[in-house]
Structure 1
Amino acid sequence: MKIQNYINGEFINPLNDQWLDNYNPANGQVYGSIPNSTKADVELAYNSAKNAFNQWSNTTLEERSRILIKISELLESNLEKLAKAESKDNGKPVALAKSVDIPRAASNFRFFANAITQFASESHDSTGQNAINYTLRQPIGIVGCISPWNLPLYLFTWKIAPALAAGNCVIAKPSEVTPVTAFLLGDICNEAGLPKGVMNIIHGLGTSAGQAIVEHPDIKAISFTGGTSTGAHIARTAAPMFKKLSLELGGKNPNIIFGDCDYENMLDTTVRSSFANQGQICLCGSRILVESSIYEQFKADFVAKVKNLKVGDPSDPNTNLGALVSKPHLEKVLGYIDKAKDENATILSGGNQLSIPNFEGGYYMEPTVIEVSSNDCNINQEEIFGPVVSIMPFDSEEQALSLANSTKYGLSATLWTNNLKRTLRMSKRLEAGIVWVNTWMMRDLRTPFGGMKDSGVGREGGFEALRFFTEPKNICLKY
């Protein structure tokens, strides 16, 4: 499969005619090629977007909404095709892509298509001064959207949809590891009637194509989801140009379990929150903290459930965990298992690479549970981003809070308790951008999403995203 850049509504080869291999994680084989784009390709995309901006930014809200809804409908009608493409490119189970990734991508476009029609400006009557102040929210212009490989189309559209809805033109770069569904989105945009140049998709490495987007002086905003170190580099690069930045970065999320929880619901959800998408979700609860009164029972029950998870062929509807996204990533995750052993942690389950019959070259590993005695160990402080969780006990609410907050990250937290007063106390004090209580990954697209500390800057979702992708201008009118 040969992927091309999508510029000015057309698919074109990279200007340097350089290509990268694209691997199928399920079997480790090359099955396609993608452009190794450079600054020249980004400049071509920028000129295309610049030429389209005046038309798109002056399109009525109703027309913008109509086109975005049409994109949403086309995503839904191509569910099977897109889900299979996502699985082949990423390694995740097809069933997961069909139930989560593609439906959510469609929902992103539909939500922001409707949200833009309800996004109102403020006005203030300056009493006694015979003046009215009102605020215009205008599109920024040309914006850059850079998305990760773990939820490829899901997070790609999470950025693109509000940017387009707000009237901007977009230069987007999907991960070079998972480019296929972004490539397929180009045809959908054409079919939906999106004007040429409004969205441009550049494929390639972050160090070349991504860097060119970030450092382009006339791309005025960058929305990025990915690793914390890359986010820091983007911030350093963008700061002298005073670009707007939205950075959703890493997480090392605590899952805090008290003895008064709904135990069976907690247990089932915790298995899912630990290993969904092979643990390759920034919101997975990778540090499980359990009240001492139920710790031994939880340990036994949790490990038993984890051992029953099926790792294997992503196209098998009974598969729980597919392949990790790439060989380098698999090696990185396995390296953390070695670190845990060096720190005298106890491997309760898993910890090994797997060879799956008929998929021997694939990047599979066992879901892994590690018991630790200290929160300072590497696996409790560093983002692993794989099917690996640690468990440890706590004795008090204060200790649980201390353990939960004692990392450089602050993306999400999960709290299991039926004590309302405890819920309110702890939710307020947990250093996280989102706190789930007695649930996990329940999302309402109207709510703000993002992290604290090294988990990022800014918020996505709802009107927060539309505020990010617009510039507010105050106008004072004296009468």
Structure 2
Amino acid sequence: MSASSRFRMFIDNEFVESASGEWFTTDNPFTGRPFAEVASANEEDVDRAVRSAHRAFNAPEWKGLTASQRGELLLRLADLIAAHVEELAVAEVRDNGKLISEMRAQIAYMPQWYRYYGGLANKVEGAHLPSDKKNTINFTRYEPLGVVAAIVPWNSPLLLLAWKLAPALAAGNTVVVKPSEFTSTSITPFMELVKDAGFPAGVVNVVTGTGPTVGAELVRHPLVRKVAFTGGETAGVAIAEAAGRRLIPATLELGGKSANVVFADANLDNAAKGVIGGIFAATGQTCVAGSRLLVQREIADEFIERLLAIARTARMGDPLSTDTQVGPVTTPVQLGKILRHIEDAKAEGARCVLGGGRAERPECGTGWFVEPTIFTDVTPQMRLAREEVFGPVLAIMPFDTDEEAVSLANSTDYGLAAGVWTSDLKRAHRMAEQLQAGSVWINTYRTSAPMSPFGGYKRSGLGREGGADAIKQYLQVKSVWIDLNDEYPSPFVMRL
């Protein structure tokens, strides 16, 4: 490979190689072949990045900025992202295999997160508190935590980084980013924009490498004061344990086994499109994938035929083509996991009515493709109904009553999202109240906004990203007391 195919880390506003000089390869999911090399960080590199962020946190170039000035930097970054949508979108597609049409839309919308938190930076307010002590003033102030470790997954690296980076910087923290080892290259052109926006050296740093080496060392580092993680449950539990031992906060957005609930009174054409989009868009590689379809029994046969009619027309192929509707799986490891889930579902007695294996179509070439797959005759006890597949595999279960729908929807250990399709406004409100999910979409699916909180119930995670309250998860509150009395009372008695 040429030197131009090498992607370096970003530390102290410079693109640098690893201390060891080692590299690892990253693959293009459409071709199934390596296309670049990425710097392979070790403990020394993590320490260098964290110490750079720690110095920046205490340096006047960052610490001396007002909240309004921090907000202006975020607004400038938002404008730069908007001017480089195509470059960033193509970089994402080459690395994770998602559709260019989706990535263009996603990157074009991404500046809204930086604009939202850029505007929110100078609106974090403490409070003057009432006091029951004469001549005493008590007020609160919010202060940044310090160095934040932002660990992002491979399915939407830049967008999910925005959910962490924007509020962390708005709050006055500095950040060390650890992208997935499977999708580390799109971060390079983005860091060019961070630098061009004028952020001081060390405020944002990037270390690249594996989770067990780089991610674990980052969470363990004594100067890291918070971890923000999106990814799998196993890694999330390990991060929570490590953060707990250090008594630092962790925001965790983990897996899901989300239900799309379709009632007989729904607009079935819209519901069918929503269900298809919920599971086959992004090749099912999204934490909110509507991987369980709960459909009212009286319309089940008709609705499944509608789904099959749409799904059979799905065009697979090059994700850089605007005609493609289903792209490749991002990693060969994930490809194997999806195929094992499919075989296990067949062995457990689920009936495969569409797909059911690796795609061998000519237009898929040598890439890591799975046919859009639909199973019926699924029971709640089956692995397919309980575990996250993270691929284009839909499990269908019928229900009769509202109560049964709620029971089925809530019958997993996860609670990230849910969809409800109905024309009954009262039913919609009841379902929104009773479903154990951090996001409930009524007559829509898979939508988000920077002003809306996002996160999960149960094993889907801890904390929330998005919305005004999210910035406080990157702040700590301080209570300040001022005594105005002329004479101090007895030093041996606590002032109550």
* Category of TM-score, reference length = shorter chain: over 0.9
Whether contact under 8 Å (2:88, 2:190) holds in the other structure is no
Whether contact under 8 Å (1:351, 1:366) holds in the other structure is yes
CA distance in 2, matches of 1:215, 1:448: 28
1:447 is displaced (CA, Å) by: 2.1
Correspondence for 1:91: 97
CA distance in 2, matches of 1:45, 1:369: 45
CA RMSD in angstroms comes to 1.3
Whether contact under 8 Å (2:124, 2:142) holds in the other structure is no
Letter in 2 for 1:21: T
Task: State TM-score, norm by structure 2.
Answer: 0.94
1:267 is displaced (CA, Å) by: 1.4
Any gaps of 5 or more consecutive residues in structure 1?
Answer: none
Letter in 2 for 1:22: T
Correspondence for 1:292: 297
1:356 is displaced (CA, Å) by: 4.5
From 73, 79, 82, give the equivalent of 1:76.
82
Structure 1, residues 220-279: CA drift from partner, whole Å, max 9, x if none?
Answer: 100000011111111111111101110010000011111111222111122111111111
Structure 1, residues 375-415: CA drift from partner, whole Å, max 9, x if none?
Answer: 11011100000011111110111111111011110111111
Correspondence for 1:240: 245
Letter in 2 for 1:376: Q
Structure 1, residues 172-213: CA drift from partner, whole Å, max 9, x if none?
Answer: 101110111212111111111111000000110001000111
Correspondence for 2:309: 304
Whether contact under 8 Å (1:356, 1:362) holds in the other structure is no
Residue 110 in 1 paired to residue 150 in 2?
Answer: no
Correspondence for 1:140: 145
Aligned 1:39-438 pairs, distance under 5 A: 39-54=43-58, 55=60, 56-100=62-106, 102-126=107-131, 129-357=134-362, 360-438=365-443
The SS at the match of 1:348 is strand
Q: Which moved more, 1:354-363 or 1:293-302?
A: 354-363
CA distance in 1, matches of 2:378, 2:48: 54
1:219 is displaced (CA, Å) by: 0.4
CA distance in 2, matches of 1:123, 1:367: 57
CA distance in 1, matches of 2:482, 2:265: 59
Whether contact under 8 Å (1:408, 1:454) holds in the other structure is yes
Kindly report structure 1 stretches of 4+ aligned residues shifted beyond 3 Å.
127-132, 355-359
Structure 1, residues 304-329: CA drift from partner, whole Å, max 9, x if none?
Answer: 11111111111111111111101111
Letter in 1 for 2:101: A
Any gaps of 5 or more consecutive residues in structure 2?
Answer: 485-496
Report the CA distance shift for 1:356/1:67 in structure 2 as closer, same or farther (over 3 A). farther
CA distance in 1, matches of 2:425, 2:104: 36
Correspondence for 1:15: 19
Whether contact under 8 Å (1:57, 1:139) holds in the other structure is no
Whether contact under 8 Å (1:156, 1:182) holds in the other structure is no
CA distance in 1, matches of 2:57, 2:67: 15
1:125 is displaced (CA, Å) by: 2.9
CA distance in 1, matches of 2:147, 2:372: 42
CA distance in 1, matches of 2:112, 2:317: 29
Which structure has the larger Rg? 2
Letter in 2 for 1:245: A
Q: Percent identity?
A: 37
Q: Which moved more, 1:247-256 or 1:175-184?
A: 175-184
Letter in 2 for 1:466: I
Letter in 2 for 1:211: A
